[in-house]
Each structure stands twice: as C-alpha cells, then as structure tokens.
Amino acid sequence: CREYRLRPPVFSRWREEFLERAPEIFATERSRGDEQERITGLEQMVGRLTMQLEVAKKRLERPDLSLERQREMIDMLAQEYPLTVACEVLGVPRSSYYYQPVKSPDETKLKGAIKKTAAEWPTYGYRRITEQLRRGEWVVNHQRVQRLMGLQAQIKRKQRRTTNSKHGFPRYPNTTTAFYKTVPLTDNGGNTKPLEG
C-alpha cells in the first residue's frame, strides 16, 4: 500500500470483492477457451463438409448425365432435403426441373391435310389454306402453313453500302499526285540510252 500510496481500507475492500467474485472471473476465461475450441471444431466441420460437397458436385457434373437422370436424382434427394438444395447440389436450375416439354403434333398429318386442301382448291394460297384448316380441326397459324408448303423463299438482303468507291470524284482531294523523273542528259541535250550489246 505504501508503494502505490493506497489507503489500507481501500485495499482490503478490493481484496474482499476479488475473493467473492474470483470464481466468476476464472469461469468466464474457461468458458472462453471452451467457446474457442467449439468454434475451431465447427470451422473444421464446415471445411470438411465443403470439400465433400465440392467432390459430390464434381462427380455429378458429368456431361453424360441426361436431364431425365438428373430429375430422378433430384426426386430422390427431395425426399430428405429441400428441393432448392437438391437442385443447387446437382447444378440444375429449378426451372429446368419443372419444365415439361410440349410435344408438337405430327407434322406429316398436317402436311397431308395441306396437300388435300390444296388439291381441292388449287388457286388458294397459304392464307386461304390456313383458313380452311382452321375451319376444320386444325389449330395452326399462317406461318407454319407457309413453312410446310415450302413457300418461304430466301430473300436476298439489300447490302448496305458503307463506302461508295464508284464515283468520278478524286479519292483524296487534298493531295496532289505528281511524278518526277530524272533523266541524265547528254552534251547535245538528248536522253541517254543504255547500249545493248
């Protein structure tokens, strides 16, 4: 007390408080250590599960698995886990899981109906044939009839000219073209020609 200039009653009061609350203080330090051990254990578990999930994803992301096979696997997993988790693990969007492809009717039957209608009314075009088919049992639009009749001609697109080089104007109006030829002259003012021989 003399060294730190404390009065004896203050020191004795601090000592009494410490002795009363000492188990609480040391218990919190122990619990902190226990919590830290628990946190490290959980982190290790998360790391292990993450690796297992990555291995499972790599195993399941083979290109030879068809969508039907993946749907079967999702159905099996969906019995134990949520559907969103099962789809996420297999890498299949939920929209692909729920998608039911619409089967188009046989186009050969429609082609036969088009040929039959065209034989009955040879002057009809694709629009009138479409109307005749609609009056019957077919639900079809004019574009499909036109495609099946083979009337869609390939139209050549107009080429856009970005540069018009077929004009009579000088190509580079700000430049002049001049050729200078230097020919050595003889004493009498004529040109020299090399001797052949």
Which residues on neighbouring strands pair with residue 158, listed in sequence order?
none
Q: Each residue's pLDDT tens digit in the chain (197 positions)?
A: 677 777 788 888 878 888 887 777 666 656 667 778 888 889 888 887 887 677 677 666 666 778 888 888 888 888 888 888 888 777 788 998 888 877 666 788 888 898 899 889 888 888 899 999 999 888 899 888 888 888 655 566 777 777 777 777 766 666 655 666 666 666 666 666 555 54
Cα 195 from Cα 197, distance rounded (Å): 6
Cα 13 from Cα 21, distance rounded (Å): 12
Task: Give me the pLDDT at residue 132, please.
Answer: 92
Cα 171 from Cα 78, distance rounded (Å): 72
Contact residues for 47 (Cβ-Cβ < 8 A; gap 6+)? none
Q: In terms of C-beta density within 10 A (0-12 exposed, 13-18 middle, 19 or more buried), how is residue 112 classed?
A: exposed
Task: Give me the pLDDT at residue 197, please.
Answer: 46
Contact residues for 132 (Cβ-Cβ < 8 A; gap 6+)? 117, 121, 124
